[in-house]
Structure 1
Amino acid sequence: MSGQSRISQQEWADLRAQFGLCRRTAGPGAIPDVSIGAGASALAMPASHLLDPERGSAYLDRLTERLRAPSRMTAASQFVKRYAFVAAVPVLYAMTAYDKGLHARAEHCLLEATPDRWLTHIRLADDQAGSPAPGGRHAWREALLHALFAENMGPIIHMLAEIARAPKPMLWENAAVRVYSLYEKRLAASEDEAVRARGREDYAYMLHQAPGALFGEARNPLLRFYGDAAPAASLAPDCDAPSGTPTRIRKTCCFYYEVSPVEEYCTSCPKL
């Protein structure tokens, strides 16, 4: 069981500044559904539209053109990397740093773009939050993770893998590296000991105890790609760690180099 809570104005400001997650500005469904290629100043589409093969294919084709990607597969890979950062990571951050749970099913997430950027941020159609009941944080956390992964990231990854013929392991690793970075770097560096303690507990649970069903998978995808970090001398844009800090060599390639203006590889790329 969980109780009702609220994300404060300062917490919303931090979630937007750090990750690009925004609260709704009107009632659910009030933001228009328009494509990423239109000329409006603010463009939006419910993330749940990606679960429809026709709408998902149309979105992916527009994104492929926008990124000048050589294939739907490459575009799908870049989308999952970005979506995990703006949709999944801030929900996990709120869960651990604020001890508050946001409603993050696919139907609650609105993908917003501008003419200059293809996914600037996510706006939640339902900005209410829950908090764990006394002694009930484990069950509360399970429900949050199930909504985020089994009812959001997992179905979107499954559909993109199907319509883009993209390997599911690659797409899941794109999401997993965002989670690793959040807990191993940002939350581990918190000045609040209570936050660091919750971070250690939540991360250990997600890696080693959470069943595959919480992700909509037979196996836990976070554990599947987890491994030791190795020193990194530099980092390509949109990758995993600042210069000089340990990074984890990926097991799959995300094909970032195929959309990079200078054909640049991520430091964590297994092809290097």
Structure 2
Amino acid sequence: MIKLTGEQAEALGQFRLAQHSEEGSPLTIEVKKLLDTSQTGPYLDRVKNHIGATDKKTAASILIKRYAFLPVIYLYSMTSWNIKLDISHENITFVSQEKDGLWLPGFRFIHLQGQGIETEREKWREDAVRNLFNGHIFPLLNRIANEANVSKLILLENIAIYMFWLYEKILPLGTHSERAAEDFKFILEEASGNLFGCENANPLKKFDSKKILIESTGKTVRPRKTCCYSYLTSSGKRCGTCPQACRIK
């Protein structure tokens, strides 16, 4: 196993890697407990109350939007440093954090370490993607979707939008831009459905919609296929890629 350096940990801080836990917060939880059928519901209720959500569906969606930075941390490490982080559910705590009045949780690892390349990179990358989506994300989405009675497509798109951001906005600026482009192509276009816990095709492909220009903001965005329900929280705001807002543009 390779232990991440202080410099690497600092780099992951921009993606909400947390060095310390907020002790006593009812919104800080060990990830393994989110898979516990006796704890998922009560935790969603706490999230619902904290963000002023109208129902559990909204709480579940916003929870996964916040959780989407765990895949960002993992994929950044995979592409930038060829490290497959230990993201076993038992190794991570979802840490409640607030910034400028927003609930922006982070992730604390018991062991901030991972495996390097032990075979050809293509095979290693395939195993890394399977480990992330099939091994970590799919069980979590399945548990939360069942508890909140919310579509897994909404939750999965919440993950996808930050993956797009990472590979289109962040990694191309780094020293491994060519590798980033190859990894992004693999994840989005070449990876088979079984790597994501799906029997059919790669589920991320459906979210790769054509980008459009929003005249009111001058920004080019990829409209969401599903609604994340952010407007049903106390903020009342729609996200920048809201499918309804993008249609109005």
Gaps of 5+ in 2: none
Q: CA deviation at 1:58?
A: 0.9
Q: Which amino acid aligns with 2:221?
A: T
Equivalent runs, 1:134-149 vs 2, <5 Å: 136-149=120-133
Q: TM-score, normalised by structure 1?
A: 0.82
The question of whether the paired residues in 2 share the 8 Å contact of 1:34 and 1:45 is answered with no
CA separation in 1, counterparts of 2:45 and 2:146? 14
Q: Supply the AA of the counterpart residue of 1:251.
A: K
Q: CA deviation at 1:157?
A: 0.8
Query: For each residue in 1:14-50, what CA deviation from the matched residue of structure 2 results, as whole angstroms up to 9, or x when unmatched?
Result: 101x111146x7xxxxx7996525xxxxxx3211211
State the one-letter code of the partner of 1:98. W
**Alignment partner, residue 110 of structure 2:** 125
What secondary structure does 1:54 align onto?
coil
Range moving further from structure 2, 100-109 or 170-179: 100-109
TM-aligned CA distance change 1:114 to 1:200, over 3 Å: closer
Match of residue 207, structure 1, among 188, 195, 202: 188
CA distance in 1, matches of 2:80, 2:226: 30
- Alpha-carbon spacing, 1:233–1:110, altered in 2? closer, same or farther (3 Å): farther
Q: Quick one: which amino acid aligns to residue 230 of structure 2?
A: Y
SS at match of 1:246: strand
Percent identical? 32
SS in 1 for 2:208: coil
Task: Tell me if the contact between 2:129 and 2:195 (Cα under 8 Å) persists in the aligned partners.
Answer: yes
TM-score (norm 2): 0.89
C-alpha contact 1:36 1:118 (8 A) present in aligned 2:
no
Are the counterparts in 2 of residues 33 and 45 from structure 1 also a CA contact under 8 Å?
no
Letter in 2 for 1:15: L
Q: In structure 2, do the counterparts of structure 1 residues 212 and 152 end up closer, same or farther at CA, with 3 Å as the change threshold?
A: same
Structure 2 partner of 1:36: 26
Alignment of 1:177-192 (within 5 A): 177-190=161-174, 192=175
Shift of 1:75: 0.5
State the Cα deviation string for residues 88-138 of structure 1 (Å, max 9, x = none): 1011011111222211122222111158765531011221222113x5212
Q: Which amino acid aligns with 1:20?
A: R
Q: Quick one: which amino acid aligns to residue 97 of structure 1? A: S
- 1:147 CA displacement: 1.8
**Paired residues, what number?**
242
Match of 2:244 in 1: 271
User: Could you tell me which amino acid in structure 2 is paired with residue 247 of structure 1?
Assistant: V
Cα shift readout 1:215-246 (whole Å, capped 9, x = no counterpart): 11223221121122112357xxxxxxxx6442
Equivalence map 1:14-53=2 (5 Å): 14-16=11-13, 18-22=14-18, 36=26, 44-53=28-37
Quick one: distance in 1 between partners of 2:120 and 2:135?
Answer: 21
- Counterparts of 2:131 and 2:25, CA distance in 1: 26
Structure 1 residue 260: Cα displacement: 4.8
Rate the CA distance shift 1:114–1:141 in 2: closer, same or farther, 3 A.
same
